Structures are given as structure tokens and as C-alpha cells.
Amino acid sequence: MQQMVNGIFFGKAFGIPLRLHYSWFIVFALVTWALTVGYFPQVYPHWSTTTAIVAGLLTSLLFFGSVLAHELAHSLVAQAAGIRIHSITLFIFGGVSQMAEEPGRPQVEFRMALAGPATSLVIGGTFLALYFFLKDIPEFVRAMSFWLGWINLVLAGFNLIPGFPLDGGRVLRSLLWWHSGRLLSATRTASNIGRGVGYLFIFIGIGLIFYGSWLNGLWLAFIGWFLENAAATSYRQLALMDMLKGHTASELMTREWPAVPPHLTVQQLVHEQIFASGRRSFPVVDADKIVGLVTIHDVKSVPKEQWTYKTVSDIMTPASKLKSVEPNDDLGKVFRILTEHNVNQVPVIKNGNLLGMIARDSLLTFISIRS
């Protein structure tokens, strides 16, 4: 799967940063616990507690190693097609690869989506072969191989369910897209199936809860809820980007946005500009070139005693660190900057000259009118 999740950095593989989301620790503990207290003692009652604990921990670690290999397979195919991968994050429902952009061609998405489940199949097959064909290896290793073999096959099977944004849903989308050439309608079909699968999981999960298998039921319903949400959100985002694509930043920018000079004191900024205009942010312009942006947040970070001698250039975000767009950039880029960097305005700049500003509110108004 490929979605947005944050987490703790723990290493790099093939140049891709690897992260653990906090929810991963919960599922790691749950899986280890289920193996140590439930599965191993039940199947191998003659094992000592220590053996069960060591096998549980090792199996759990290898399982999440397999999930990581699955995600790495997606990412390596993507990288080979020229798509940059921000990071891979393990979280409660498995792993996600965070791509800088969506694949531009259905053929790329097809290969990328299949690479993950194919890897899980190979890993699963290898572990099962160990179990079935190498009968002389220690029982401890065979026991782990058996469980890891099946869980990887389950992982491959689950991910191949044809509901977007699961891998199978991505495969389906790429085929529809390939066939019709229309990404948006292909996504709508695949994500509707994804939502249907989500509802089905919730339904079966609730059934299981009533029949006494409440932990499995809760888990399945939870996964269903997550799937339904992810499918609906992915489609909405794509539809939004599609709508914004035909429109440029210059259409929405306002030229009447007061600018301030860099040498203005914070005191003057507050009294002569913020209070007078009611605006919360000001581009800082010097000799017709934009040198930065100062906002009410920057002002709040300065103690009031320093307002008389600190200047706007001391507290502003310098132009080099500013997220800006060019007049011909499409509004999708504006939207991404506003949401990813959580800012309230985006300057429109050409050759260092400030042409205008786009406020978050005007983009939201634009979206609500069009949709």
C-alpha cells in the first residue's frame, strides 16, 4: 500500500529511509504475544517457556522483515521507473511506501503493485520449502518456517484483493487505466470496490464479535474501516487534483496584498500593518524583489520588549526557505504546498519578483464552488 504515515527513523535500505510508526509497536507486541503465549505452546507443548519466547520474538521480527521486503519490492520497482520514494514506514496494518508522485503510466503502476505480493509469495514459498523439504533442521527452525511461510502467503493473498488502495486494487486500476486511458474513472471503479471490501470486512467483523470471536472480529472490522477510509480518501484526492489541474496559480492570486520593507521594526509591523489591515502575513519586499515572508506567528515568537529594535528581516522566513509557486504552476501544486507544509498562503514569484499571493481560504472557496 502507498499512503501517508509518519514514524521514527530506524535505518536506510537502497537509499530509502525506513521508519516505524508508533502503532507498529502495538502490533509487534500483539503478534509476539500471540505467538509466544498462544500459537507455539499450543502446537509444541513440550517446548520450554524460554524456547517459546525466543521463537515468538524471532518469528515476529522475521515477519516484519518480510513486510519490509514486500514494501522494498514496491519501492525498488518505482525507483527503477524514476519515481522518488520518500520513505517506507511500518505501521499497525503493515507497511507503506511514500512516493513523491503517483506513477504516470499504467504499465509502471502494474509492475509496481505486483512486485510486493510477488515478493511475499517467494518469501512464503521459501519458508514452506524449508519446512517441507529440510526435515533434518532443528524443530525450532522448522516451526518458525511453517508459520512464516503461511503468513507470507496470507499477506500476498490479502494484498491481492482487488480493492484500491490495496495492491490488487492498484493492479485492477492500472489495467482499467491501460484499457481506457482514463485514470480518474479507473480509480473510481477500483476505489469503489475497495470501499465495498472495507464494508464487507466491517460486516463480517461485527458478525465475529457476536459469535464470541471478539478479538478477531474487532481486528477485521478495524481493517475494514481503515480500508474504506483509505479508498474514499484516495479517490477524493485524485478527483481534486484532476479538477485543479487545468487551472493556474495566476488565476487565483491576488495582487492587492500589502508588502512590507525588511527594515521595518516589529513594533511598526504590528501597529501600522497588522492592526491597520487585519492581515496575518506580509511578503517582505526590497527593491522590487521578494526577500521573505513575515507572519503573525513570527511576531509571537519575539518577546514584546524586543519589538522596538528587532526588524522584520530578523524574524521573517527568508525567500530561500519559502515555499512558492510560479504563475503558470497548476493549482494542484498550490494545494500540495498548503497541505504538506501547513501554511496559510503561498507567494507567486517569477524571477524573484512577487506577482501575487494565494490565500488558503481563496483556494478552499475555489474548490467548494467547483465541486
> Which CB, 121 or 367, lies closer to Zn ion?
121
Q: How far is the CB of 161 from Zn ion (least distance, A)?
A: 11
Q: How far is the CB of 104 from Zn ion (least distance, A)?
A: 20
Return the bridge partners of 353, or none: 289, 350
Q: Report the phi/psi class of residue 44: left, alpha or beta, with left for phi > 0 and alpha for psi in -120 to 50.
A: beta
Q: How far is the CB of 11 from Zn ion (least distance, A)?
A: 20
Interacting residues with Zn ion between 145 and 184 (CB under 5 A): 159, 167
Question: By CB under 5 A, how many residues form the interface with Zn ion?
Answer: 3
String marking each residue 99-118 x if it binds Zn ion according to CB under 5 A: -----------------x--
Interacting residues with Zn ion between 308 and 337 (CB under 5 A): none
Tell me the three cell numbers of residue 156.
500476498
> Which CB, 109 or 167, lies closer to Zn ion?
167
- DSSP tag of 213: -
| Whole-angstrom distance, CA of residue 355 vs CA of residue 17 | 37
Q: How far is the CB of 202 from Zn ion (least distance, A)?
A: 21
Q: Whose CB is nearest to Zn ion?
A: 116
Residues acting as catalytic residues: 71
Count CA atoms closer than 13 A to 202's CA, side-chain side: 12
| Whole-angstrom distance, CA of residue 355 vs CA of residue 86 | 31
> Which CB, 3 or 192, lies closer to Zn ion?
3
| Whole-angstrom distance, CA of residue 202 vs CA of residue 219 | 9
- DSSP tag of 254: B
Longest dimension (CA), the chain: 84
> Which CB, 152 or 159, lies closer to Zn ion?
159
| Whole-angstrom distance, CA of residue 136 vs CA of residue 269 | 79
Q: Given the rule CB under 5 A, which residues bind Zn ion?
A: 116, 159, 167
